[in-house]
Chain A
Amino acid sequence: MLTLEQAADIFSRIRKYATADEVECLFYGGKSALTRFANNTIHQNVAEENYDVSVRTAFGGRTARATTNKFDEDSLRDVVRASENLARVQEPDPDLLPVPSPEEMSDRNVRPTQSARHFGETAALTPGQRADAVGQIVAIAQKHKLTAAGIFASSDNLEGIFNSRGLSAWHTQTSAEISITMLAPDSSGWQKANFPDVARLDPAHLAQVAAEKAAKSAAPREIAPGKYTVILEPAAVLDTVGFAFYDFGGLAILDQRSFLNNRIGTKLFGENISIWDDVSHSLQSGSPFDGEGVPRQKVQLVANGVVKQLVYSRGSAARMKKSEYASKVGPVETTGHGFPIPNEIGEAPMNIVFEPPKEPKSTEQMIASTERGILVTRLWYIREVDPYEKILTGMTRDGTFMIENGKLVCGLRNFRFNQSLIDMLSNVEAMSTPVRTSAEESFDMVVPAMKVRDFNFTEVTKF
């Protein structure tokens, strides 16, 4: 692995080549491996190691970035030249701030320690160990006369930043992930989990749950689309709510592309919805600083259904304070959520944690309390239909069940939904304790299962 000391040396070599007023270097990369299986066979099995240095130079309001994965002298000279050539010819942006200094950051809380997210056992995982776990999963599939497909991935990653005003920050983290689909002739089941520590993964349990879902949803019935009470398992919640959070950045409001324009401070969701961004949460992962090296702060985004605060990069906070919206958007301060500059998005909260409900209900309790409804394991191919009403469309997948009189009675053919996310979060009747959740359409979060009334299914497909 590239070390902090090696990165510091590369940064000092880059500074020698720079003529710009300011220089900032981001380092990222690591080692990763992924064992992929399908048809009860490992069919793809890959490993890589790579590190990039991304050099941002700035000349008085003009800035640009160039990236390379080569650290020899010629490559470092070339990457600095490329960055400076892109920056020099621009018109100055009067709102571009100087890179942050360590003093500017000194009053900020630096939240988690990196040791909490880096595990030696995960970093050292071998292809043989991953294959053994896949063998265990395939054995469970074969026991149930099913076909297994999925992945077992592991990685050891780093993220670092140095700038010419002396700020530096460094983060390392491991990750282990398993995703399993169990296929039967006319049904399927799915489970996925991701943790920094491989010891938290239980391949056999995940395989067993996926297999049970495939078995229980066999011979699916077709029922008419319409508005139903649904119980969304955490992965289904994650993939829908994930479409909201890019709109919680200050720049999204300034750009007038957020569904929160003219809605901050109003009651947008149900009383039972409170949402935080908290990189330090024990179930969260990721680096404790943003794309400029600013420590990420804990921010309450939604309190009892009311949107309270946005997240900000340094530049967006400064622009917001001068804007016509300044008095209408809640507290305006740098929160440490900026993406590397230059970028078009600004910032976003990426460590979402739903506040636990006062009276959490397990998925089983939610099912038991439902006279007629639908249990959704997972959603798929979700896209935004309407950006202001936040109408999303997508499909159910890999385990959709009819609930009648408090019990799962059969599998169902999959539905297409067209559902306003605002309405969905206003119609939540019950929630589980939030859990660390991983799916395919959004970044990992800490979210609950939800029982939602009047979820809008508009079509049904052929399986």
Chain B
Amino acid sequence: MKELAAWALNIANQRGATYADVRVIDDRSRALATKNGRIGNASDSRSQGFNIRVLIDGAWGFASSAELDRSSVEATAARAVDIAKASAKVKQSDVQLAPEKAVTVEWTTPHQIDPFSISIEQNLALLQKVDAELRSVGGVTLAETNMNFRREEQRFFSSEGSDIHQTKYTTGAGYVAYAFAGSEIQKRSYPNSFGGQWQNKGYELIDELKLVENARRIGGEAVALHSAEQCPKGVFDIILESSQLGLQIHESVGHPIELDRVLGMEANFAGTSFLTLEKLRSLKYGSELVNVVADARQEHGPGLGTFAFDDEGVAAQCTPIISNGLFTGYLSSRETASLVGLQRSGGTMRAESWNRLPIIRMTNISILPGEKPLTLEQLIASTDHAILFQTNRSWSIDDKRYNFQFGTEIGWEIKNGKRVRMLKNPSYSGITTEFWNSMDAICSRDQWTLWGTPNCGKGQPMQTMGTGHGASPARFRKVKVGSAYS
């Protein structure tokens, strides 16, 4: 492996590269799913290949191949060089990289049980049990379950001398109950939408999720939504349970802090950002209670954005993003760090696989829990009148990340400190900074969950990436509710 990479780096160097890196990847995944008692999916996939990224004449080139023999490695390196030279025909300035020390490291996602070591029979039996529980509830018209595992082994070599060997494990599982009746389709998901809960850990996650134990409740709620009142329209105090707050962070904090968006590099597809450079350390992003970090380190937890080194060889870090409400940090790469005068990259470059270029991606963008003990039930008890939003159903935000609208699967009206009724089709909307400045309570550490968002799309060609979002339930004052059905 090291020899192959050395050939590629040598060719790049001989042909004028001022910097080059090589990633060699072996990617294995398994997807299992049931649908109304039948197999919905049963598939394994393995993809192996490598890429080389080169910087020549101040411009980037990137080429990849599945063939790992010497002739392919040499041809691919030469192709990357030709591409970089073509890039140099249209540039305004040369790319500069923030400095980074070379390292030799080996790291594996901490895990107790290799998910691929568990028998397929055991996994399918669990999913079928959940499926049966969901369909045992009268009125459930469609039950879907899923379980997913991934093991990605990567060797990273750079012309600066780094040799980083990382193996990452991801596990995910969840289910959905649908109820169609009259002129409505309602659904409930567990433990979250987007295929449930996803973390970088082993099979132990599956046991922690208590999938079977919650299935009848979820099926029952899907059916009960047909008898629930429509969520009212107006301005209300709202409480977001932690998975919905996680997605709120993803869309209205995580994306706008990406420096490539801020600097216009994603303008054609994902969009730009309202967080222009002069706002750093001057914008009051949220209330004093809002503290958000971008933390890829192992000690943050087993998030989908946890690793030891990013895909350009920069160590995992914790960057304060919002500190007591003040906007304090961006997500950066070696190139963008250099452009804005940072001493070092924040270590957020990741690629979907061996055939994709690393780009800035969210790591674990998490809101820190409140310091005083506060459970969700205590928060509800301290609230006069509000709507509680649970489990995302729809999500949308503009291309600068100001105006958002979210819908959830279920809502609850809270009056005088108690949940008084279930609400169907709840939605809320707002402007990012106005919303975060209205947060007046957040639950404590014991209510905090590190959620996984497995389906974040960005880049051209599109890359799907997993991101982590830790959150505890929080309350926001005077938020617009119900526009989706107006």
Please tell me which stretch of B208-216, B234-242, B258-266 contacts chain A, meaning at least 4 of its Cβ atoms lie within 8 angstroms of it: B258-266
Residues of B within 8 A of A93 (CB): 38-39
A 58-95 contacts with B by CB, 8 A: 62-70, 75, 78-79, 82-83, 85-87, 89-91, 93, 95
Q: Would B43 and A64 count as touching, CB distance under 8 A?
A: yes
Contact between chains at A257 and B185 (CB < 8 Å)? yes
**Cβ A257 vs Cβ B460 within 8 A:** no
Q: Identify which of B44, B51, B66, B271 contacts A82 (C-beta below 8 A).
A: B44
Check: A244 CB closer than 8 A to any chain B CB: no
User: Residue of B at shortest CB range from A255?
Assistant: B142
Most buried by A among B43, B65, B429: B43
Asked whether, in the complex, the Cβ of B121 is within 8 Å of the Cβ of A89, the reply is yes
Which of B86-94, B98-106, B164-172, B310-318 forms contacts with chain A? Answer: B86-94
The reply to whether the CB of B328 lies closer than 8 angstroms to some CB of chain A is no
Check if B268 sits within 8 Å of A179, measured CB to CB.
yes
CB distance from A87 to the nearest CB of B (A): 7
**Contact assessment for A393 and B484 in the assembled complex, using a CB-CB cutoff below 8 Å:** yes
Q: A129 — nearest CB in chain B belongs to which residue?
A: B86
* Chain B residues closer than 8 Å to A66, beta-carbon distance: 43-46
A38–B60 CA distance with the chains assembled, in angstroms:
13
Residues of B within 8 A of A150 (CB): 268
Task: State whether the Cβ of B133 lies closer than 8 Å to any Cβ in chain A.
Answer: no
Quick one: which of A40, A67, A344, A395 contacts B41, CB cutoff 8 A? A344
The answer to whether A48 touches B63, judged by C-beta atoms less than 8 angstroms apart, is yes
CB distance from A288 to the nearest CB of B (A): 25
Please tell me which one of the listed residues A131, A394, A458 contacts residue B483 in the complex, with CB atoms under 8 A apart: A458
B161 within 8 A of A: no
Which one of A48, A126, A395, A418 contacts B399 once the chains associate, using CB atoms below 8 Å? A395
Q: A127-B83, A462-B400 are in contact. Are A42 and B431 (CB under 8 A)?
A: no
Cβ-based interface call for B33 (8 A): yes
Q: Is the CB of A42 within 8 A of B86?
A: yes
Cβ–Cβ < 8 Å partners of B396 in chain A = 381-383, 393-395, 416
The reply on B461 being an interface residue by CB < 8 A is: yes
Q: Is B47 an interface residue (CB 8 A)?
A: yes
A38-B394 contact given A257-B178, A462-B403, CB 8 Å threshold: no
B223 to chain A, nearest CB (A): 13
B107 interface residue per 8 A CB criterion: no
A45 to B403, CA, bound (A): 32
- Chain A neighbourhood of B35, CB < 8 A: 255, 344
With a cutoff of 8 Å between Cβ atoms, the chain A residues found around residue B405 in the complex are 393, 416, 418, 459
Does chain B have a CB within 8 A of A37? yes
A95 to B41 Cα, complex, angstroms = 15
| Chain A residues closer than 8 Å to B47, beta-carbon distance | 50, 52, 67-69
Q: Is the beta-carbon distance between B267 and A181 smaller than 8 angstroms?
A: yes
Query: Is the Cβ of A128 less than 8 Å from the Cβ of B355?
Result: no
Question: Min CB distance, B431 to chain A, in Å?
Answer: 7
A463 within 8 A of partner (CB): yes
Q: Would B142 and A257 count as touching, CB distance under 8 A?
A: yes
Q: Within B52-85, which residues are at the interface with A (CB < 8 Å)?
A: 59-66, 79-80, 82-85
A42 touches B87 (CB 8 A): yes
The total number of A-B Cβ pairs within 8 Å is 283
Q: Does B184 contact A (CB under 8 A)?
A: yes
CA distance A134 to B61 in the complex (A): 15
Docked CA distance A65–B30 (Å): 10
Q: Taking A66-B44, A418-B485 as contacts, is the C-beta distance between A43 and B269 under 8 angstroms?
A: no
In the complex, what residue of chain B is closest to A65 when comparing beta carbons?
Answer: B43
Cβ–Cβ contact A49 & B65, under 8 A: yes
- The verdict on B97 contacting chain A, using a C-beta distance below 8 Å, is no
Q: Are A386 and B483 in contact (CB under 8 A)?
A: no
- Chain A positions within 8 Å of B90 at CB level: 37, 40-42, 131, 134-135, 138
Q: Is the CB of A131 within 8 A of B89?
A: yes
What is the distance, in angstroms, from B368's C-beta to the closest C-beta of chain A? 28
Q: Does A224 sit at the interface, judged by CB under 8 A?
A: no
The answer to the question of B398 belonging to the interface, with a C-beta cut-off of 8 Å to chain A, is yes
User: How long is the Cα–Cα vector from A62 to B44 in the complex, in angstroms?
Assistant: 15
A42→B92 CA distance, assembly (Å): 9
- Is the beta-carbon distance between A42 and B120 smaller than 8 angstroms? no
* Cα distance, A383 to B93, chains bound together (Å): 39
**Cβ of A461 and Cβ of B46 under 8 Å apart?**
no
B61-A45 in contact (CB<8A) = yes
**Given A48-B355, A181-B268: A90 and B39 interface contact (C-beta under 8 Å):** yes
Asked if B402 is an interface residue, CB under 8 A from chain A, the answer is yes
Interface residues of A in 393-438 (CB under 8 A from B): 393-395, 397, 414, 416, 418
User: In chain B, what residue has the closest Cβ to A458?
Assistant: B483
> When chains A and B are docked, how far (Å) is the Cα of A353 from the Cα of B117?
48
Judging by beta carbons under 8 Å apart, are B92 and A41 in contact?
Answer: yes
Report the bound CA distance from A344 to B85 in whole Å: 45
Quick check: B66 and A386 within 8 Å, CB to CB? no
CA distance in complex: A186, B180 (Å): 45
A47 on interface, CB distance cutoff 8 Å: yes
Contact across chains for A65 and B42 when beta carbons are under 8 A apart = yes
CB nearest to A138 among chain B residues: B90
A69, B399: Cβ atoms under 8 Å? no
A46-B83, A130-B86 known; A383-B395 Cβ under 8 A: yes
Check A342/B40 contact, CB under 8 A, given A37-B90, A416-B405. yes
* Per-residue contact bits, chain A 179-216, to B (CB 8 Å; 1 contact, 0 not): 11101000010100000000000000000000000000
Q: Does A442 contact B (CB under 8 A)?
A: no
**Residues of chain A lying within 8 A (CB to CB) of residue B264:** 38-39, 147, 149, 183
| CB pair B46 A459 closer than 8 Å | no
Q: Is B62 within 8 A of A39, CB to CB?
A: no
Contact A461 B402 (CB under 8 A): yes
Which B residues are CB-close (under 8 A) to A127?
61, 82-83, 85-87
Shortest distance between the CB of A30 and any CB in chain B (Å)? 12
User: Does B456 sit within 8 A of A, measured CB to CB?
Assistant: no
Q: Is the CB of B483 within 8 A of A459?
A: yes
Asked if A115 is at the interface of the complex by the 8 Å CB criterion, the answer is no
* Set B60, B267, B485: member contacting A386, Cβ < 8 A: B485
> Which residues from B are CB-within-8-Å of A82?
44, 46
B243 interface residue (CB < 8 Å to A): no
Whether, in the assembled complex, A380 has its beta carbon less than 8 Å from a beta carbon of chain B, the answer is yes
Contact partners of A188 in chain B: CB under 8 A: 267
> Within residues 125 to 158 of chain A, which ones have a CB less than 8 A from any CB in chain B?
126-128, 130-132, 134-135, 138, 147, 149-151, 153
Flag whether B227 is at the interface (Cβ < 8 A).
Answer: no
- Residue A383 contacts which of B63, B95, B394, B485 (CB distance < 8 angstroms)? B394
B residues less than 8 Å from A325 (CB atoms):
none
- Contact mask B174-201 → A, CB, 8 Å, 1/0? 0000101001110000000000000000
Determine how close the nearest CB of chain B comes to the CB of A34; give it in whole angstroms: 6
Q: Does B332 contact A (CB under 8 A)?
A: no
Interface pair A131/B268, CB less than 8 Å apart: no
Of B36, B92, B400, B403, the residue contacting A40 (CB under 8 A) is: B92
C-alpha gap A16/B330 in the complex (Å): 55
Once A255-B35, A458-B486 are accepted as A-B contacts, the answer to whether A395 and B398 lie under 8 Å apart by CB is: yes
A6 beta carbon closer than 8 Å to chain B: no
A33 vs B61: C-alpha distance when bound (angstroms): 11
A36, CB-defined interface residue at 8 Å:
yes
Q: Would you call B386 an interface residue if the criterion is a C-beta within 8 Å of the partner chain's C-beta atoms?
A: no
A255 vs B142: C-alpha distance in the bound complex, in angstroms? 6
A134 cross-chain contacts in B, Cβ below 8 A? 90
Across-interface contacts of A35 in B (CB, < 8 A)? 86-87
6 more A-B residue pairs beyond the given contacts A86-B43, A131-B89, A393-B484, with a C-beta to C-beta distance below 8 A = A42-B59, A44-B60, A68-B47, A70-B48, A87-B42, A257-B185
A-B contact pairs, 21 of them (CB 8 A): A32-B461, A38-B266, A46-B64, A48-B51, A49-B65, A50-B355, A127-B86, A128-B89, A181-B267, A255-B142, A380-B399, A381-B399, A385-B393, A385-B425, A385-B485, A386-B485, A388-B180, A388-B183, A393-B484, A395-B403, A459-B483
Q: Which residues of A contact B (CB under 8 A)?
A: 32-52, 62-70, 75, 78-79, 82-83, 85-87, 89-91, 93, 95, 126-128, 130-132, 134-135, 138, 147, 149-151, 153, 179-181, 183, 188, 190, 255-257, 261, 342-344, 380-389, 391, 393-395, 397, 414, 416, 418, 440, 456, 458-463
